[in-house]
């Protein structure tokens, strides 16, 4: 029977048709039409009825085949419920106990569980992933999220059991909620997800005999102010009452060591105080001793990078005589709260003392030039020599050494601007002195050393983009402002700019060596910067806009821009390399942005940048990039070593400009700030589930809690398509064939 129908007939099968209703109607209509046309050709009534007896059932069978009749039934198979296993994939599972990672027991536990029945294995960390852990490196295990995901995924399906293999160090909200509720005596099933099967919490690791001396955290704030004490607070964890030496080093050199005693909770703090002497980024490393049985060797050192910035710019202003220019600049500097000003003018010279006057008869203060230009010089960010001639004040025997100190101060990173007047430049006899080598103009004129003709300086192409003379947002506005400022009274002359200097303002008529005479020039000298303003009438710039009711903004913007550029922060140089963060984690993405500017401080496009990133081990990552239209190039990396990494780059048209920075990479993992298994939490969590919860402290999976009555119903569908039945085709062929045969015998037309 099953062969004739094309297969076994489903038990309790229901008949239904697979073809659309419209197709059924068309098929039935065509069958009737064909039947009518065939019978119309029969001559006798007897023949018509004989043929109808055969053709009518054949047409009915054909219409039935088109209707696609089917016999189908729904049934199901019951299997034993599944066991869902959740494996903690966090980094704390890789902590070594007795020389082996505690997660080593997991493979054996999974093998033993597989003998109990079919398993569905998942790894949980921040979320839930199918399969066993490929590596134990997760950063934030969250058991509450994992249990909620199981409850959602198997909703409506009874499970034989849910088994969790974990050390109990749960970073999620569930652990905090359970511990708080336990402390307050308000444990409730509402705290935990409802599971479709009994829960077994199998402990991995032991809370006894574990040693881990660690620097948990270093609190620094991330930045510090120049010449201002800053504290590095190292928080130490270890055994209660343990005496721990804590070391602070810079570049491998021991800076300080402290010994602290840990409290009853096994924690303590070492505080180191530093006074930064330079701006920029600087790396230190804190460390505690490493023993052979330390469970986490990677947390015994902690590198940290501080970015040192200026709180206030310390400025030394020295003027040879009082003047309107000196008065305006001194007032501007005094009113700026970001500037710490030390100003000297109307000075008592050694000649006043040699004239025979007693100190009580002199109203002028004595000029402490020796202390200023020896001991105190390095404490200033910027020195302004405003119409100052050193001769009357510096002892003739000490002058060379003091001027040398100023030149070295600039070369080592200081800022210097010399402002014009009758006591400056060649008129102040600076030619041939150490200071002459750090100025951006060449001295040593013969003949006239000044020109008193009034003029309006011309802004150069470099001046339109340079931060010192950029007075507006775009070059055209800047040029318009400079062209509207009043004329100046004259200027000091020079032999022209030095090699590598940039001329920002120039005389419209006077020449120096065939080129326009510099009015304002700037240069980078060694690590420092210098400027030469060849006039003593910049104060006039304050009155142009005042007369138009717009205030003295041009004067203010010029001098503020000049000071910002001259103090030369590391991130305001022609080549700058800036890390996206000073302190990163191993494997974390970090970007190095390299900016290159031309002599006028405009973006340098298509500049080749070369250099290297040097890891603590000495391994080097080469840098070879081209800047984009904005003068920037970016390197993305993922450091794999812990410690301070040094970055060295060079770029610019001649690849002569250099920049350096540092960043620290730490192996600190928040997951490892606590490594002692929390069995108390697991025990409390199991208790909340009552009879459907169990804590297995010894790690034996033979003791897991299973619901043997849990079954899984697998739905099955059986279907028999009668249109494909061999019997249907044979019956149609037989009826239709006999009908044709009789039609011939009975003499149909």
Segment 589-601 shows an average pLDDT of 83
> 196-247 pLDDT, tens per residue?
999 999 999 887 767 788 888 888 877 788 878 889 999 998 888 999 999 9
Intrachain domains 214-310 and 573-666 with the same fold:
yes
User: Between these two residues, 265 and 145, which has the higher pLDDT value?
Assistant: 145
Fold of 214-310: Immunoglobulin-like (2.60.40)
- pTM exceeding 0.75: no
The Cα–Cα gap between 644 and 627 comes to 26
User: Between these two residues, 474 and 448, which has the higher pLDDT value?
Assistant: 448
Question: Looking at the predicted structure, is the pLDDT value of residue 310 above 80?
Answer: no
Segment 90-109 shows an average pLDDT of 85
Q: What is the pLDDT of residue 421?
A: 92
Considering only the top CATH level, what class is 313-568? Answer: alpha beta
Extents of the domains making up the chain: 2-76+717-745, 101-197+676-692+705-709, 214-310, 313-568, 573-666
> 649-679 pLDDT, tens per residue?
987 654 567 888 999 888 776 667 777 888 9
Query: Please, are residues 124 and 84 in contact by the beta-carbon 8 Å criterion?
Result: no
The Cα–Cα gap between 384 and 417 comes to 5
Evaluate whether the domain defined by 573-666 bears CATH number 2.60.40.1930: yes
Token pair in block for residue 616:
């603590």
Query: Please, are residues 496 and 535 in contact by the beta-carbon 8 Å criterion?
Result: no
The Cα–Cα gap between 101 and 94 comes to 5
Mean pLDDT of the chain: 82
> 488-545 pLDDT, tens per residue?
989 999 999 999 899 999 999 999 988 999 999 999 898 889 999 999 999 888 876 5
Q: What angle, rounded to 10 degrees, do the helices at 324-335 and 553-566 form?
A: 70
The Cα–Cα gap between 54 and 705 comes to 71
Q: How far apart are the first and last CA of the chain?
A: 40
Q: What is the pLDDT of residue 202?
A: 93
State the SS3 of 441-460: ECCCCCCCCEECCCECCEEC
Residue 600: burial class (beta carbons within 10 Å; 0-12, 13-18, 19+): buried
Query: Please, are residues 664 and 583 in contact by the beta-carbon 8 Å criterion?
Result: yes
Q: What is the pLDDT of residue 78?
A: 64
**Cα-Cα-Cα-Cα dihedral sign, residues 702, 703, 707, 709:** positive
Look up tokens 């049934």; give the residue: 75
- Produce one character per residue of 644-655: b if its CB has 16 or more CB atoms within 10 Å, e if not: bbbbbbbbbeee
Q: Assign 397 a pLDDT band (cuts: 50, 70, 90).
A: low
Segment 150-164 shows an average pLDDT of 91
> 68-99 pLDDT, tens per residue?
676 666 655 566 788 999 999 988 888 888 77
The Cα–Cα gap between 346 and 318 comes to 10
User: Between these two residues, 589 and 723, which has the higher pLDDT value?
Assistant: 589
The Cα–Cα gap between 682 and 695 comes to 7
Segment 143-151 shows an average pLDDT of 93
Token pair in block for residue 402:
């003091």
């Amino acid at each position: 029977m099953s062969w004739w129908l094309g297969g076994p007939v489903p038990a309790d099968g229901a008949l239904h048709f697979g073809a659309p209703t419209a197709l059924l109607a068309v098929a039935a209509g065509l069958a009737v039409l064909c039947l009518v046309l065939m019978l119309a050709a029969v001559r006798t009534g007897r023949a018509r009825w004989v043929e109808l007896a055969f053709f009518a059932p054949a047409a009915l069978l054909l219409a039935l085949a088109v209707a696609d009749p089917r016999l189908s039934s729904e049934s199901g198979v019951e299997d034993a419920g599944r066991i869902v296993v959740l494996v903690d994939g966090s980094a704390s599972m890789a902590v070594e106990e007795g020389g082996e990672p505690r997660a080593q027991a997991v493979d054996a536990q999974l093998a033993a569980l597989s003998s109990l029945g079919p398993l569905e294995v998942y790894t949980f960390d921040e979320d839930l992933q199918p399969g066993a852990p490929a590596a134990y490196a997760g950063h934030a295990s969250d058991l509450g999220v994992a249990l909620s995901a199981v409850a959602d995924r198997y909703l409506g399906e009874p499970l034989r059991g849910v088994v969790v293999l974990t050390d109990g160090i749960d970073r999620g909200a569930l652990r905090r909620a359970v511990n708080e509720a336990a402390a307050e005596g308000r444990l409730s099933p509402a705290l935990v997800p409802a599971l479709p099967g009994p829960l077994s919490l199998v402990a991995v690791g032991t809370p006894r005999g574990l040693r881990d001396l660690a620097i948990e955290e270093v609190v620094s704030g991330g930045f510090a102010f120049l010449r201002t004490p800053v504290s590095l607070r190292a928080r130490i964890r270890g055994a209660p009452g343990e005496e721990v030496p804590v070391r602070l080093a810079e570049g491998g050199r021991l800076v300080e060591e402290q010994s602290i005693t840990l409290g009853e909770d096994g924690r303590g703090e070492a505080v180191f105080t530093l006074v930064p002497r330079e701006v920029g980024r600087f790396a230190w490393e804190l460390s505690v001793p490493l023993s052979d049985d330390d469970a986490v060797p990677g947390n015994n050192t902690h590198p940290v990078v501080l970015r040192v910035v200026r709180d206030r710019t310390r400025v030394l202003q020295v003027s040879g005589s009082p003047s309107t220019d000196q008065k305006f600049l001194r007032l501007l500097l005094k009113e700026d709260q970001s500037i710490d000003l030390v100003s000297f003018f109307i000075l008592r010279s050694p000649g006043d003392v040699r004239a025979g006057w007693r100190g009580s008869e002199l109203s002028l203060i004595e000029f402490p030039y020796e202390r200023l230009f020896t001991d105190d010089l390095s404490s200033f960010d910027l020195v302004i020599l405003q119409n100052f001639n050193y001769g009357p004040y510096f002892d003739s025997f000490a002058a060379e050494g003091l001027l040398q100190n100023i030149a070295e101060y600039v070369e080592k990173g200081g800022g210097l601007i010399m402002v014009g007047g009758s006591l400056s430049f060649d008129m102040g006899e600076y030619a041939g002195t150490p200071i002459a080598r750090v100025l951006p103009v060449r001295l040593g004129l013969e003949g006239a050393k000044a020109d008193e003709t009034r003029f309006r300086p011309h802004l150069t192409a470099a001046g339109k983009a340079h931060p010192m003379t950029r007075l507006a947002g775009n070059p055209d506005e800047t040029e318009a402002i400079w062209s509207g400022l009043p004329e100046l009274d004259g200027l000091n002359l020079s032999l022209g700019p030095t090699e590598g200097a940039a001329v920002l303002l120039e005389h419209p008529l006077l020449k120096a060596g065939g080129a326009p005479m510099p009015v304002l020039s700037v240069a980078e000298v060694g690590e420092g910067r210098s400027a030469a303003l060849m006039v003593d009438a910049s104060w006039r710039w304050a009155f142009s806009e005042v007369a138009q009711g717009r205030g003295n903004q041009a004067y203010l913007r010029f001098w503020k821009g000049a000071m910002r550029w001259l103090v030369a922060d590391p991130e305001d140089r022609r080549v700058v390399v800036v890390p996206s963060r000073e302190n990163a984690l191993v494997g974390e993405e970090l970007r190095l942005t390299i900016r290159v500017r031309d002599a006028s401080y405009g973006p340098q496009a298509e500049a080749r940048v070369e250099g290297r990133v040097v890891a603590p081990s000495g391994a080097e990552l080469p840098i070879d990039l081209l800047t984009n239209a904005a003068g920037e190039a970016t390197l993305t990396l993922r450091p794999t070593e812990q410690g301070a990494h040094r970055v060295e780059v060079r770029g610019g048209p001649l690849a002569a400009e250099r920049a350096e920075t540092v960043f620290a990479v730490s192996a600190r993992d928040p997951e490892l700030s606590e490594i002692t298994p929390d069995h108390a939490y697991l025990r409390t969590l199991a208790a909340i589930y009552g009879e459907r919860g169990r804590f297995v402290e010894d790690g034996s999976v033979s003791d897991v809690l299973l619901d043997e009555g849990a079954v899984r119903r697998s739905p099955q569908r059986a279907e028999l398509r009668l249109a494909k039945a061999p019997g249907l085709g044979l019956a149609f062929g037989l009826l239709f064939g006999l009908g044709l045969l009789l039609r011939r015998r009975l003499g149909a037309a």
